[in-house]
Amino acid sequence: MLQETVFESVGRRIVDGYLEGYNGTIFAYGQTGSGKTYTMLGPAGGQDILGAQAHLRGLIPRAVEYVFRKLDEKNDEVTFYRTSLLSSFLALIFYYEF
């Protein structure tokens, strides 16, 4: 399945809801090596992929780009959004809030 297909079939409607003020969660769960990180970020350095390899970007970089593109289109409104990212690895939990 293509990364763009994953975003279009799963991510876009969740992000659209988020932009309308609803809570949204995208959750990847599975066995080690099953492709969770690739799906969420893309290949190593996926968040920084540009140009000819942009099609490899994962769900998170696509969602962030989509959010900012939509906010730019609504430039007449003042809006506040809060986003967080939670990652768990080997019983360690990493929490990021933006």
Q: Is 31 annotated as a binding residue?
A: yes
Q: In this model, does residue 8 exceed pLDDT 90?
A: yes
The gap between the terminal CA atoms of the chain, to the nearest Å, is 29
Provide the whole-model pTM.
0.79
Sign of CA dihedral 23, 12, 80, 57: positive
Tokens of 86: 């939670």
Tokens of 11: 């991510």
| CA distances in angstroms from 18 to 25, 27, 46, 77, 79, listed in the order given | 9, 15, 23, 16, 12
Split into its structural domains, the chain has a count of 1
Return the CATH number at 84: 3.40.850.10
Q: Is 9 annotated as a binding residue?
A: no
Residues 46-74 pLDDT 10s = 556 666 678 888 998 899 899 989 988 87
Continuous segment of H or E residues that includes residue 69:
helix 59-73
Q: Is 84 annotated as a binding residue?
A: no
Q: Which domain holds residue 44?
A: 3-97
Q: Is 36 annotated as a binding residue?
A: yes
Q: Of 57, 56, 66, which is closest to residue 13 (Cα–Cα)? A: 66
Q: Is 79 annotated as a binding residue?
A: no
